[in-house]
Structure 1
Amino acid sequence: MAHTIKEKSKITARINRIKGQLEAVSKAIEAEQDCYQVMQLIASSRGALNGLMAEVIESHIREHIVHSESKKEASESAEDLIDVMKSFLK
């Protein structure tokens, strides 16, 4: 998990922006805004989450697979990533 600690402030900033986007979705629904506007806000939020996931995946691959201590560790990390991606893509 060292790679997420190294990038903690960057990741935290992204999460805070995502929180803001989700709050905008909530406010739009409360204000009964047009469906199109609500869907645009949801699409933006999803894009931001996907971007966050991509960043964490890239760090995971670089730290735990490419630069792993052993082939066994790399294989285990790859299997973990596969499991997470299966659940993420459902």
Structure 2
Amino acid sequence: MAHLSHDNAALLARVRRIGGQVGAVERALQGEAGCAEVLQLVAAVRGAVNGLLDEIIADHLAAHVAAPGLSDAERAQGAEELLTVIRRYAK
């Protein structure tokens, strides 16, 4: 996804924060934290991953479906790629 390269630093920073959150879940489990604390941490990870996914989906739509000058074939491919991801995510 070459269109992401302009904002890779911000996306990578988000991924690193998510990695830190996953590490917190691991530490909580190793430290025998309570269920409520672990649930809160896992919910935070899920929210962060969903936010990252939303951002990348929006970028994909803008660059591969809605961008002016795309051919019908390019738009169809971009839409199909997005639909594949949405179907996988919805499972």
TM-score class, shorter-chain normalisation, is over 0.9
- How many residue pairs end up in the alignment? 90
Aligned partner of 1:61 in structure 2 is 61
| Divergent runs of 4+, >4 A | none
- Distance across 2 between alignment mates of 1:74 and 1:41: 38
Q: Which runs of 5+ in 2 are unaligned?
A: none
Q: CA deviation at 1:89?
A: 1.6
Aligned partner of 2:15 in structure 1 is 15
- Distance across 2 between alignment mates of 1:14 and 1:22: 12
Q: Which runs of 5+ in 1 are unaligned?
A: none
Letter in 2 for 1:83: T
Identity of aligned residues (%): 39
- 3-state SS of 1:7 partner: helix
- 3-state SS of 1:66 partner: coil
RMSD: 0.9
TM-score normalised over the length of structure 2: 0.95
TM-score normalised over the length of structure 1: 0.96
